[in-house]
């Protein structure tokens, strides 16, 4: 694959990547990032997704779904010949990432922990896949939306137990993206012992 020139970009695991050329073939295993890549105009470069990557429906319908966020069909993925796999520390497994490293040249790891981390995520995806201007514009819109939120005062503070999965039941902890989002509106995730 032809690489473009530019500074190396670093993912959330400390891996460094050269900006990809127009031939980039992206497999994304994070539903929200699949949607982001489409929003950045990269839908045609997506070659694989999870069955949970369902938005925007019209854009992802043509992209093969080859598993979930924890387990994918590696043979199908290898046959699709991705140049990049986009993963997330909380969504995907270490074993999945290691298996992909055997045949995917670039395994990009993300880990936003707070809404503000989206700005870096946008810059990484935009810079890596030749959509820096689009990512910067999206970042400005996002920053403006964050800045427009009223401060969450103590009067509206509420404790919540936020469930993310059933069978087994799973909840979020306080050091997660979801917890940080809830904090923006004055909600706090409660401590729990499963």
Q: Same domain, yes or no, for 108 and 164? A: no
Q: Same domain, yes or no, for 132 and 177? A: no
Q: Same domain, yes or no, for 37 and 79? A: yes
Q: Same domain, yes or no, for 140 and 160? A: no
Per-residue pLDDT in tens (0 to 9) along the chain, 194 residues: 444 567 899 999 999 999 998 899 999 999 999 999 999 999 999 999 999 999 999 999 999 999 999 999 999 999 999 999 999 999 999 999 999 999 999 999 999 999 999 999 999 999 999 999 999 999 999 999 999 988 877 766 888 999 988 989 989 888 889 999 999 888 988 865 44
What is the per-residue pLDDT for 4?
57
Q: Quick check: 95 and 63 in contact, CB under 8 A?
A: no
* DSSP one-letter string for 165-177: ETTTTEE--TTSH
**Euclidean distance between CA atoms 146 and 25, whole angstroms:** 32
In a domain, 73, yes or no: yes
Here the CATH number for the domain that contains residue 127 is 3.40.50.1980
In a domain, 1, yes or no: no
In a domain, 2, yes or no: no
Q: Same domain, yes or no, for 86 and 161? A: no
What is the per-residue pLDDT for 194?
46
3-state secondary structure of 3: strand
Q: Same domain, yes or no, for 100 and 131? A: yes
3-state secondary structure of 84: strand
In a domain, 80, yes or no: yes
Q: Same domain, yes or no, for 182 and 98? A: no
In a domain, 47, yes or no: yes
In a domain, 62, yes or no: yes
Q: Same domain, yes or no, for 74 and 167? A: no
What is the per-residue pLDDT for 174?
84
What is the per-residue pLDDT for 5?
63
**Which H or E run contains 124?**
helix 117-128
**Euclidean distance between CA atoms 130 and 119, whole angstroms:** 16
Cβ-Cβ contacts under 8 Å for 139 (sequence gap 6 or more): 118, 119, 122, 123
Domain boundary among 127, 146, 165: 146
In a domain, 42, yes or no: yes
Domain of 184, in residue numbers? 154-189
Comparing CA positions, the residue from 25, 41, 32 lying closest to residue 117 is 32
What is the number of domains present in the chain?
Answer: 2
In a domain, 194, yes or no: no
Q: Same domain, yes or no, for 26 and 107? A: yes
Report how far apart, in Å, the C-alpha atoms of 86 and of each of 63, 141, 184 are: 15, 23, 27
């Amino acid at each position: 694959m032809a690489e473009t020139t530019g500074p190396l970009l670093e993912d959330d695991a400390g891996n460094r990547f050269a900006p990809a050329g127009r031939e980039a073939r992206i497999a994304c295993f994070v539903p929200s990032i699949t949607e982001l890549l489409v929003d950045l105009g990269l839908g045609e470069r997506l070659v694989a997704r999870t069955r949970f990557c369902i938005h925007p429906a019209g854009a992802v319908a043509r992209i093969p779904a080859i598993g979930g966020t924890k387990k994918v069909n590696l043979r199908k993925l290898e046959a699709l010949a991705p140049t990049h796999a986009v993963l997330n520390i909380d969504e995907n497994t270490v074993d999945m990432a290691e298996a992909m490293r055997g045949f995917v040249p670039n395994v990009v790891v993300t880990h936003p922990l707070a809404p503000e981390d989206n700005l870096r995520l946008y810059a990484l995806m935009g810079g890596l896949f030749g959509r820096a201007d689009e990512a910067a514009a999206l970042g400005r819109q996002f920053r403006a939306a964050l800045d427009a939120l009223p401060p969450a005062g103590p009067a509206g503070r509420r404790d919540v137990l936020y469930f993310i999965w059933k069978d087994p039941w799973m909840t979020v902890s306080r050091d997660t993206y979801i917890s940080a989002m809830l904090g923006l509106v004055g909600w706090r995730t409660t401590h729990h012992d499963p």
